[in-house]
Protein backbone atom coordinates (compact mmCIF):
# COMPACT_ATOMS: atom_id res chain seq x y z
CA UNK A 1 0.00 0.00 0.00
CA UNK A 2 1.16 3.54 -0.79
CA UNK A 3 0.20 6.57 1.29
CA UNK A 4 -0.35 9.89 -0.47
CA UNK A 5 -0.29 13.17 1.49
CA UNK A 6 -2.28 15.84 -0.37
CA UNK A 7 -2.07 19.52 0.57
CA UNK A 8 -5.43 21.18 1.11
CA UNK A 9 -4.71 24.53 -0.58
CA UNK A 10 -6.77 24.92 -3.74
CA UNK A 11 -7.81 21.91 -5.80
CA UNK A 12 -4.80 21.35 -8.01
CA UNK A 13 -2.99 19.06 -5.57
CA UNK A 14 -6.08 16.86 -5.25
CA UNK A 15 -6.58 16.63 -9.02
CA UNK A 16 -2.93 15.73 -9.57
CA UNK A 17 -2.99 13.11 -6.81
CA UNK A 18 -6.09 11.50 -8.29
CA UNK A 19 -4.53 11.40 -11.77
CA UNK A 20 -1.40 9.70 -10.44
CA UNK A 21 -3.29 7.45 -8.03
CA UNK A 22 -5.37 6.08 -10.89
CA UNK A 23 -2.14 4.91 -12.55
CA UNK A 24 -0.67 3.18 -9.48
CA UNK A 25 -0.97 -0.60 -9.53
CA UNK A 26 -1.55 -1.00 -5.80
CA UNK A 27 -3.88 0.41 -3.15
CA UNK A 28 -3.41 4.12 -2.48
CA UNK A 29 -4.57 5.82 0.72
CA UNK A 30 -4.90 9.61 0.62
CA UNK A 31 -4.18 11.65 3.74
CA UNK A 32 -5.44 15.23 3.56
CA UNK A 33 -7.46 18.02 5.13
CA UNK A 34 -9.12 18.73 1.79
CA UNK A 35 -12.48 17.38 0.70
CA UNK A 36 -11.37 14.51 -1.47
CA UNK A 37 -13.37 11.64 -2.91
CA UNK A 38 -12.05 9.80 -5.92
CA UNK A 39 -12.07 6.15 -6.97
CA UNK A 40 -8.29 6.35 -7.40
CA UNK A 41 -7.99 6.05 -3.60
CA UNK A 42 -8.93 2.94 -1.66
CA UNK A 43 -9.40 5.15 1.41
CA UNK A 44 -9.15 8.80 2.46
CA UNK A 45 -7.83 9.65 5.93
CA UNK A 46 -9.01 13.12 7.00
CA UNK A 47 -6.28 15.04 8.83
CA UNK A 48 -6.82 17.85 11.32
CA UNK A 49 -6.11 21.33 9.97
CA UNK A 50 -2.96 23.05 11.18
CA UNK A 51 -3.89 26.61 10.19
CA UNK A 52 -6.84 27.46 12.45
CA UNK A 53 -4.91 29.66 14.89
CA UNK A 54 -5.49 33.33 13.93
CA UNK A 55 -2.21 34.38 15.54
CA UNK A 56 0.33 31.57 15.10
CA UNK A 57 3.80 32.06 16.61
CA UNK A 58 7.28 30.98 15.51
CA UNK A 59 5.85 29.27 12.44
CA UNK A 60 9.22 28.63 10.73
CA UNK A 61 11.21 27.32 13.73
CA UNK A 62 13.91 29.94 13.27
CA UNK A 63 14.03 29.54 9.50
CA UNK A 64 14.47 25.76 9.53
CA UNK A 65 10.90 24.98 8.41
CA UNK A 66 7.98 26.65 6.60
CA UNK A 67 5.04 25.90 8.88
CA UNK A 68 5.31 24.58 12.42
CA UNK A 69 3.41 27.02 14.66
CA UNK A 70 4.29 26.67 18.33
CA UNK A 71 1.68 25.04 20.64
CA UNK A 72 -0.74 24.52 17.76
CA UNK A 73 -3.25 21.80 18.64
CA UNK A 74 -4.16 21.14 15.01
CA UNK A 75 -0.53 20.63 14.04
CA UNK A 76 0.04 18.31 17.00
CA UNK A 77 -3.00 16.20 16.14
CA UNK A 78 -2.12 16.18 12.43
CA UNK A 79 1.37 14.83 13.04
CA UNK A 80 0.03 12.28 15.52
CA UNK A 81 -2.40 11.05 12.87
CA UNK A 82 0.43 10.65 10.38
CA UNK A 83 2.55 8.76 12.91
CA UNK A 84 -0.36 6.47 13.77
CA UNK A 85 -0.97 5.78 10.09
CA UNK A 86 2.65 4.79 9.54
CA UNK A 87 2.79 2.66 12.68
CA UNK A 88 -0.43 0.76 12.06
CA UNK A 89 -0.63 0.59 8.25
CA UNK A 90 3.08 0.42 7.38
CA UNK A 91 2.98 1.93 3.87
CA UNK A 92 5.65 0.79 1.44
CA UNK A 93 6.22 4.44 0.51
CA UNK A 94 4.64 7.86 0.95
CA UNK A 95 4.10 10.57 -1.65
CA UNK A 96 4.09 14.16 -0.35
CA UNK A 97 2.38 16.88 -2.42
CA UNK A 98 3.47 19.12 -0.78
CA UNK A 99 4.94 19.89 2.66
CA UNK A 100 8.50 20.18 3.90
CA UNK A 101 7.41 19.32 7.43
CA UNK A 102 5.47 16.20 6.43
CA UNK A 103 8.36 15.06 4.22
CA UNK A 104 10.88 15.31 7.04
CA UNK A 105 8.52 13.83 9.64
CA UNK A 106 7.75 10.78 7.51
CA UNK A 107 11.43 10.26 6.74
CA UNK A 108 12.19 10.43 10.49
CA UNK A 109 9.66 7.63 10.89
CA UNK A 110 11.71 5.58 8.47
CA UNK A 111 9.33 5.70 5.52
CA UNK A 112 10.62 6.08 1.93
CA UNK A 113 9.30 9.39 0.62
CA UNK A 114 8.60 10.70 -2.88
CA UNK A 115 8.32 14.50 -3.07
CA UNK A 116 6.53 16.52 -5.72
CA UNK A 117 8.73 19.44 -6.75
CA UNK A 118 7.23 22.87 -7.32
CA UNK A 119 8.48 25.57 -9.72
CA UNK A 120 9.78 28.89 -8.51
CA UNK A 121 12.70 29.81 -6.26
CA UNK A 122 13.18 26.78 -4.01
CA UNK A 123 16.79 27.25 -2.95
CA UNK A 124 15.87 28.02 0.67
CA UNK A 125 17.01 25.72 3.48
CA UNK A 126 13.61 24.07 4.21
CA UNK A 127 13.00 23.10 0.59
CA UNK A 128 16.53 21.79 0.17
CA UNK A 129 16.21 19.73 3.35
CA UNK A 130 13.07 18.10 1.97
CA UNK A 131 14.61 17.35 -1.42
CA UNK A 132 17.72 15.88 0.20
CA UNK A 133 15.65 13.69 2.51
CA UNK A 134 13.45 12.40 -0.32
CA UNK A 135 14.12 9.05 -1.97
CA UNK A 136 12.84 10.48 -5.26
CA UNK A 137 11.69 13.84 -6.60
CA UNK A 138 8.98 14.18 -9.23
CA UNK A 139 9.20 17.35 -11.32
CA UNK A 140 5.86 17.65 -13.16
CA UNK A 141 7.13 19.60 -16.16
CA UNK A 142 9.39 18.89 -19.19
CA UNK A 143 13.09 18.86 -18.34
CA UNK A 144 14.09 20.42 -21.66
CA UNK A 145 11.96 23.50 -20.94
CA UNK A 146 12.62 24.10 -17.24
CA UNK A 147 15.57 22.90 -15.18
CA UNK A 148 16.10 25.34 -12.27
CA UNK A 149 19.52 25.63 -10.64
CA UNK A 150 18.21 24.61 -7.22
CA UNK A 151 17.22 21.20 -8.59
CA UNK A 152 20.63 20.37 -10.06
CA UNK A 153 21.90 18.80 -6.82
CA UNK A 154 18.97 16.35 -6.89
CA UNK A 155 18.94 15.43 -10.58
CA UNK A 156 20.20 11.91 -9.86
CA UNK A 157 16.88 11.08 -8.19
CA UNK A 158 14.56 13.42 -10.12
CA UNK A 159 12.00 12.23 -12.66
CA UNK A 160 10.70 14.88 -15.07
CA UNK A 161 7.25 13.65 -16.03
CA UNK A 162 5.82 16.52 -18.06
CA UNK A 163 2.66 18.32 -17.01
CA UNK A 164 0.22 16.08 -15.14
CA UNK A 165 -3.38 16.67 -16.22
CA UNK A 166 -6.51 14.94 -14.97
CA UNK A 167 -7.72 15.00 -18.59
CA UNK A 168 -4.83 13.08 -20.11
CA UNK A 169 -6.17 10.48 -22.52
CA UNK A 170 -9.61 12.02 -23.02
CA UNK A 171 -10.60 12.76 -26.62
CA UNK A 172 -10.48 16.43 -27.60
CA UNK A 173 -14.10 16.96 -28.60
CA UNK A 174 -15.54 20.43 -29.14
CA UNK A 175 -19.26 21.20 -29.15
CA UNK A 176 -21.27 24.41 -29.78
CA UNK A 177 -23.00 24.01 -26.40
CA UNK A 178 -19.69 24.71 -24.64
CA UNK A 179 -18.16 27.12 -27.17
CA UNK A 180 -16.77 30.50 -26.20
CA UNK A 181 -14.61 33.09 -27.89
CA UNK A 182 -12.90 33.74 -24.55
CA UNK A 183 -13.04 31.20 -21.72
CA UNK A 184 -11.74 32.47 -18.37
CA UNK A 185 -10.95 29.79 -15.78
CA UNK A 186 -10.13 30.59 -12.17
CA UNK A 187 -8.99 28.12 -9.53
CA UNK A 188 -9.87 27.65 -5.90
CA UNK A 189 -6.53 28.67 -4.44
CA UNK A 190 -6.40 32.43 -5.01
CA UNK A 191 -7.79 35.55 -3.36
CA UNK A 192 -11.41 35.97 -4.42
CA UNK A 193 -12.25 39.03 -2.32
CA UNK A 194 -11.95 41.43 -5.26
CA UNK A 195 -14.19 41.11 -8.35
CA UNK A 196 -12.45 39.39 -11.23
CA UNK A 197 -11.68 41.80 -14.10
CA UNK A 198 -13.26 39.37 -16.58
CA UNK A 199 -16.70 40.15 -15.16
CA UNK A 200 -16.85 43.31 -17.31
CA UNK A 201 -15.25 41.84 -20.41
CA UNK A 202 -18.51 40.48 -21.85
CA UNK A 203 -20.11 43.92 -21.71
CA UNK A 204 -17.03 45.52 -23.27
CA UNK A 205 -16.98 43.00 -26.13
CA UNK A 206 -20.66 42.36 -26.86
CA UNK A 207 -19.98 40.62 -30.20
CA UNK A 208 -17.85 37.97 -28.49
CA UNK A 209 -19.00 35.19 -26.22
CA UNK A 210 -17.08 35.46 -22.95
CA UNK A 211 -17.55 32.66 -20.40
CA UNK A 212 -16.15 32.66 -16.88
CA UNK A 213 -15.88 29.45 -14.88
CA UNK A 214 -14.64 29.11 -11.32
CA UNK A 215 -15.23 30.42 -7.80
CA UNK A 216 -14.53 33.99 -8.91
CA UNK A 217 -17.67 33.84 -11.05
CA UNK A 218 -19.78 31.57 -8.87
CA UNK A 219 -19.93 29.06 -11.70
CA UNK A 220 -17.72 26.17 -10.63
CA UNK A 221 -18.05 23.05 -12.78
CA UNK A 222 -16.47 19.74 -11.88
CA UNK A 223 -15.63 18.92 -15.48
CA UNK A 224 -14.45 21.91 -17.56
CA UNK A 225 -12.98 19.66 -20.27
CA UNK A 226 -15.65 20.25 -22.93
CA UNK A 227 -15.36 24.02 -22.31
CA UNK A 228 -11.56 23.84 -22.70
CA UNK A 229 -11.81 21.91 -25.96
CA UNK A 230 -14.51 24.18 -27.40
CA UNK A 231 -13.01 27.61 -26.61
CA UNK A 232 -11.24 29.74 -29.21
CA UNK A 233 -9.09 31.23 -26.46
CA UNK A 234 -8.58 30.12 -22.85
CA UNK A 235 -7.41 32.44 -20.04
CA UNK A 236 -5.83 30.78 -17.01
CA UNK A 237 -3.47 31.40 -14.13
CA UNK A 238 -0.07 29.72 -14.14
CA UNK A 239 -0.83 26.96 -11.65
CA UNK A 240 0.60 23.61 -12.63
CA UNK A 241 -2.79 21.94 -12.93
CA UNK A 242 -4.29 24.72 -15.01
CA UNK A 243 -1.35 24.77 -17.40
CA UNK A 244 -1.35 20.97 -17.78
CA UNK A 245 -5.10 20.96 -18.47
CA UNK A 246 -4.75 23.70 -21.09
CA UNK A 247 -1.88 21.81 -22.67
CA UNK A 248 -3.95 18.63 -22.83
CA UNK A 249 -6.73 20.55 -24.59
CA UNK A 250 -4.22 22.07 -27.01
CA UNK A 251 -6.01 25.40 -27.40
CA UNK A 252 -4.53 28.93 -27.68
CA UNK A 253 -4.06 30.28 -24.18
CA UNK A 254 -3.40 33.49 -22.32
CA UNK A 255 -1.60 32.86 -19.04
CA UNK A 256 -1.81 35.42 -16.25
CA UNK A 257 0.49 34.42 -13.36
CA UNK A 258 -0.81 35.14 -9.86
CA UNK A 259 1.26 36.03 -6.82
CA UNK A 260 2.25 32.85 -5.00
CA UNK A 261 4.97 32.00 -2.48
CA UNK A 262 8.42 31.45 -3.99
CA UNK A 263 7.29 33.05 -7.29
CA UNK A 264 5.85 29.70 -8.35
CA UNK A 265 3.51 30.96 -11.05
CA UNK A 266 5.95 33.59 -12.30
CA UNK A 267 8.50 30.87 -13.02
CA UNK A 268 6.00 28.72 -14.90
CA UNK A 269 4.74 31.70 -16.90
CA UNK A 270 8.28 32.69 -17.84
CA UNK A 271 8.90 29.15 -19.10
CA UNK A 272 5.74 29.21 -21.21
CA UNK A 273 6.61 32.61 -22.67
CA UNK A 274 10.18 31.59 -23.45
CA UNK A 275 8.94 28.40 -25.11
CA UNK A 276 6.26 30.31 -27.06
CA UNK A 277 3.52 27.98 -25.84
CA UNK A 278 1.20 30.70 -24.55
CA UNK A 279 0.79 34.45 -24.44
CA UNK A 280 1.76 35.65 -20.97
CA UNK A 281 0.32 38.86 -19.55
CA UNK A 282 1.50 40.31 -16.25
CA UNK A 283 -1.64 42.46 -15.94
CA UNK A 284 -5.17 42.29 -17.26
CA UNK A 285 -5.18 43.58 -20.89
CA UNK A 286 -7.44 46.47 -21.85
CA UNK A 287 -10.38 45.97 -24.21
CA UNK A 288 -8.43 46.91 -27.35
CA UNK A 289 -5.72 44.42 -26.47
CA UNK A 290 -8.28 41.66 -25.94
CA UNK A 291 -9.77 42.46 -29.33
CA UNK A 292 -6.34 42.25 -30.92
CA UNK A 293 -5.58 38.93 -29.23
CA UNK A 294 -8.84 37.33 -30.38
CA UNK A 295 -8.55 38.71 -33.92
CA UNK A 296 -5.02 37.33 -34.27
CA UNK A 297 -5.94 33.74 -33.38
CA UNK A 298 -6.66 32.51 -36.88
CA UNK A 299 -6.24 28.76 -37.21
CA UNK A 300 -2.95 28.55 -35.36
CA UNK A 301 -2.43 25.79 -32.80
CA UNK A 302 0.25 26.11 -30.13
CA UNK A 303 2.81 23.30 -29.80
CA UNK A 304 1.41 22.19 -26.44
CA UNK A 305 2.76 18.68 -27.02
CA UNK A 306 6.08 20.09 -25.77
CA UNK A 307 4.56 20.22 -22.27
CA UNK A 308 4.47 16.41 -22.46
CA UNK A 309 1.14 15.78 -20.75
CA UNK A 310 0.53 12.50 -22.61
CA UNK A 311 1.39 9.71 -20.18
CA UNK A 312 2.75 12.07 -17.50
CA UNK A 313 0.67 10.62 -14.64
CA UNK A 314 1.81 7.14 -15.60
CA UNK A 315 5.46 8.21 -15.55
CA UNK A 316 4.96 9.63 -12.06
CA UNK A 317 3.29 6.40 -10.93
CA UNK A 318 6.20 4.27 -12.18
CA UNK A 319 8.67 6.47 -10.25
CA UNK A 320 6.61 6.06 -7.06
CA UNK A 321 6.36 2.30 -7.52
CA UNK A 322 10.13 2.08 -7.98
CA UNK A 323 10.65 3.67 -4.57
CA UNK A 324 8.02 1.41 -2.97
CA UNK A 325 9.84 -1.68 -4.30
CA UNK A 326 13.23 -0.71 -2.84
If asked whether residues 197 and 243 sit together in one domain, one would say yes
Q: How confident is the model at residue 188 (pLDDT cuts 50, 70, 90)?
A: low
Q: Is the pLDDT of residue 299 over 80?
A: no
If asked whether residues 116 and 29 sit together in one domain, one would say yes
| Residue-level pLDDT at 196 | 80
Q: Is the pLDDT of residue 80 over 80?
A: yes
If asked whether residues 218 and 103 sit together in one domain, one would say no
If asked whether residues 150 and 40 sit together in one domain, one would say yes
If asked whether residues 182 and 281 sit together in one domain, one would say yes
Q: What is the mean pLDDT of the chain?
A: 95
Q: 3-class secondary structure for the chain?
A: CEEEEECCCCCHHHHHHHHHHCCCCCCEEEEECCCCCCCCCCEEEECCCCCCCCCCCCCCCCCCCCCCCCCCHHHHHHHHHHHHHHHHHCCCEEEEECCHHHHHHHHHCCCCEEEECCCCCCCCHHHHHHHHHCCEEEECCCCCCCCCHHHHHHHHHEEECCCCCCCCCCCCCCCHHHCEEEEEECCCCCCCCCCCHHHHHHHHCCCCCEEEECHHHCCCCCCCHHHHHHEEEEEECCCHHHHHHHHHHCCCEEECCCCCHHHHHHHHHHHHHHCCCCEECCCCCCHHHHHHHHHCCCCCCCCHHHHCCCCHHHHHHHHHHHHHHC
Residue 169 covered by a domain: no
If asked whether residues 130 and 243 sit together in one domain, one would say no
* Rounded distance between C-alpha atoms, residue 97 and residue 16, angstroms: 9
Portion of the chain with pLDDT greater than 70, in percent: 98
Residue 120 covered by a domain: yes
* Rounded distance between C-alpha atoms, residue 190 and residue 9, angstroms: 9
Tell me the mean pLDDT in the region 295-314.
92
Residue 251 covered by a domain: yes
Residue 106 covered by a domain: yes
Q: Is the pLDDT of residue 190 over 60?
A: no
| Residue-level pLDDT at 218 | 78
Other Cβ atoms within 10 Å of 99 Cβ, number = 21
- CATH code for position 267: 3.40.50.2000
If asked whether residues 212 and 129 sit together in one domain, one would say no
Residue 55 covered by a domain: yes
- 236-246 tens-digit pLDDT: 999 999 999 99
Residue 171 covered by a domain: no
Question: Does residue 267 contact residue 148 with C-beta atoms inside 8 Å?
Answer: yes
Tell me the mean pLDDT in the region 63-70.
97
Non-local CB neighbours of 215 within 8 Å, separated by 6+ positions: 186, 187, 188, 192
| Residue-level pLDDT at 320 | 98
| Residue-level pLDDT at 191 | 55
- 196-228 tens-digit pLDDT: 888 888 888 999 999 999 887 878 888 999 999
| Residue-level pLDDT at 9 | 87
| Residue-level pLDDT at 8 | 92
Residue 167 covered by a domain: no
| Residue-level pLDDT at 187 | 77
* Rounded distance between C-alpha atoms, residue 13 and residue 49, angstroms: 16
Which residues span the domain enclosing 294?
176-307
If asked whether residues 10 and 157 sit together in one domain, one would say yes
If asked whether residues 22 and 157 sit together in one domain, one would say yes
* Rounded distance between C-alpha atoms, residue 69 and residue 95, angstroms: 23
- Beta-bridged to residue 149, according to DSSP, are none
Count of domains in the chain? 2
If asked whether residues 11 and 34 sit together in one domain, one would say yes
If asked whether residues 46 and 93 sit together in one domain, one would say yes
If asked whether residues 232 and 205 sit together in one domain, one would say yes
Tell me the mean pLDDT in the region 268-285.
96
Q: How far is CA 139 from CA 89, 101, 119, in A?
A: 28, 19, 8
Residue 301 covered by a domain: yes
pLDDT greater at residue 153 or residue 192? 153
Q: Which range is least confidently modeled, 12-21, 67-76, 189-198, 221-230?
A: 189-198
Q: Is the pLDDT of residue 165 over 60?
A: yes
Amino acid sequence: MIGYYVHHQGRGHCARAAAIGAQLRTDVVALTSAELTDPAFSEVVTLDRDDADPAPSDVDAGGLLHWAPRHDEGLRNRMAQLADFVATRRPAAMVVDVSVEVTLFLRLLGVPVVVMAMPGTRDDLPHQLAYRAADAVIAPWPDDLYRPDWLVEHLHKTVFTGGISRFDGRPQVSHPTFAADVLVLTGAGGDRRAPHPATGLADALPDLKVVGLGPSFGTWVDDPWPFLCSARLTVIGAGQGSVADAAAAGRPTVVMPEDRPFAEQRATAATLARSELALVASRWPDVDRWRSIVDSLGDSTPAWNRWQTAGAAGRAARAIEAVARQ
